Structure 1
């Protein structure tokens, strides 16, 4: 059986662990001549900043995604998107469901995500520390948890 991969989804949240996951995603994509889609998952603690128009939040997320693109430059193509990880209107809208829904939307054939907890150096809003198990249980794609 040959694994065919065209798009690797890597959910990120600005944490050091998600940066490592992005590096693995680029390596997997390079190996399979695939593209990377970096999905920045926003935590519920950044929502008030977004609603008040705090541009620092957008600058941080954009800078992190720029770093992912720069790391992959010349090796693989990187698309990006940003999604809220939580909803006050839908109970089933949480970081794990956002990742799985996004994987379907972008046609991801492979998912790479962090499994380590947050460190003290991580920015506010890091939300991916607890979703690896959920994604591993429910993803229809192969998943690499790093």
Structure 2
């Protein structure tokens, strides 16, 4: 069986948020036989700082310690994991993106919160910049996610929001492939946002139309799952996607949300894109974000 994810990049700044992301990345790498790259960035602006007491070598030492901590965590969990550690100087999100491109990394796994200020901002706002610019999937892990050991990281229940768009279709392919490799089940979710509609009669007509579209989108996910031997259930709900997706994930003990970063716009039910960023900010579980530029798995 070929590996559909051969390499995983784990950025770190040594924070608890970075460690939470690393646990998911290592667990996934071990389960699918992928190589791990651990990267820490010393911000280039620190070199130009006019703060006399700033000790740049200490930042470099901390970065070395951060990548070695993750490397030890990986090899302690699975000694067969191939781990590469790197420390670079630069702008964090740009350095992450460039490293991923040059090393032909398949996915990036990172926490959504890290250190701030002169403690080396790497995660948090940097994660959002990576999400906006990366051409490969990014698994964003929030600090509110359960904090299991690497051995106990679950991938049993995946939530796959869909709007029937091309962006959602690409995310569906990744979600189905992940579920197939990890023996997970999938729940497809289609959310109808009626808030832009004022006229009651028009609302009823449109709601019926959108329900039909939602069922069609879920059927497409279900058919794809059946072809891959993956169990897929589905629901059509009414409400803003940015609220319904995190809510469903929390209420149904979802382990991972898989969604695209671009979908439909306007009243045609666009929830992917800015909505994905909001889901990443609000969700208590990791979100696997798939850009439209991602290659098919």
TM exceeding 0.5: yes
Q: Which runs of 4+ in 1 moved over 4 A?
A: 52-55
2:101 aligned with 1:104, yes or no?
A: yes
SS at match of 1:29: helix
The normalised TM-score by structure 2 is 0.40
Residues 59 and 98 (structure 1), Cα distance of their counterparts in 2 relative to 1, 3 Å cut: closer
Residue segments in structure 1 that go unaligned for 5+ positions in a row: 87-94
2:12 aligns with: 12
Taking the aligned partners of 2:130 and 2:44, their CA distance within structure 1 comes to 19
Taking the aligned partners of 2:131 and 2:35, their CA distance within structure 1 comes to 21
Taking the aligned partners of 1:77 and 1:37, their CA distance within structure 2 comes to 8
1:35 aligns with: 35
Higher CA-based Rg: 2
SS at match of 1:131: helix
Taking the aligned partners of 1:9 and 1:35, their CA distance within structure 2 comes to 9
Shift of 1:68: 0.9
Taking the aligned partners of 1:67 and 1:117, their CA distance within structure 2 comes to 15
SS at match of 1:26: helix
- How many residues align? The count is 133
Residue segments in structure 2 that go unaligned for 5+ positions in a row: 142-297
SS at match of 1:132: helix
Taking the aligned partners of 1:128 and 1:105, their CA distance within structure 2 comes to 21
Taking the aligned partners of 1:115 and 1:75, their CA distance within structure 2 comes to 28
| Contact 1:15/1:126, CA 8 A, preserved across alignment | no
